[in-house]
Structure 1
Amino acid sequence: MKIALVCSAGMSTSMLVKNMRQAAEQKGIEAEIDAYAEGELNQHMEELEVILIGPQVRYLKQRISGKADSYNIPVDVIDNMAYGTMNGDKVLQQALNLTS
């Protein structure tokens, strides 16, 4: 599974990516999880399975969804509380729920 987290510069989600990777490893889930700035996303669309957007840039959801629709990639805004607490397990579960 290939998951992208999107924020304005790709920086604020880096700790969350680390926590999600740890959660996936603990659950035995093979997942490639990376953070991208919104401007980088187009270069990765063909390989992505889920896109999660940082709550601070939720205004990008409509624009990103428009691009992702043509690739059949589900897009959602990361749960505010999970983001604030950097809860990698909860955000990983949110991504998994979008693909099931």
Structure 2
Amino acid sequence: MKILLCCDAGASTSMVAASMRKALTESEQHFVIEAKSSQLFSDVYKNYDVVLIGPHIRYKKAGMEKEAQQDNIPVEIIDSMDYAMQNGAKILAFAKQLRLDADNK
């Protein structure tokens, strides 16, 4: 699974990505979790299975979601508390569920 985290600058989201990587099980070590600027979204989103947005740029969700919908790539906002606490395990579980839900539509 490839997960894209989008934000504006990238510092805090890079830390969330690192926390998510630490939460990977042995069988999930092949997962790719990357943080990129939302300005790059249109150029890169098709390379991912799930897109998670930092809560501070929630206002961009509608446009990103509309663009990714045609490719069946879920786009969702990371829970504010999980983001602030860098709860990698919970955010990772959220991303996996989003992909599962998209695959079952």
Match of 1:97 in 2: 97
Q: What is the deviation of 1:96?
A: 0.4
- The one-letter amino acid paired with 1:13 is T
TM score, norm. by length of structure 2: 0.88
Structure 1 contact 45–71 (Cα < 8 Å) conserved: no
C-alpha spacing 1:8/1:64, structure 2 compared with 1 (3 Å): same
- Unpaired runs of 5+ residues, structure 1, are none
Aligned length: 99
TM score, norm. by length of structure 1: 0.92
Structure 2 contact 7–13 (Cα < 8 Å) conserved: yes
Post-superposition CA distance 1:41-75 (Å, at most 9, x none): 12212211000000111111101101111111001
Equivalence map 1:1-100=2 (5 Å):
1-24=1-24, 26-29=25-28, 30-100=30-100
Structure 1 contact 50–74 (Cα < 8 Å) conserved: yes
CA distance in 2, matches of 1:53, 1:39: 12
RMSD: 1.1
Runs of 4+ residues deviating >6 angstroms: none
CA distance in 2, matches of 1:42, 1:9: 16
Q: Sequence identity of aligned pairs in percent?
A: 39
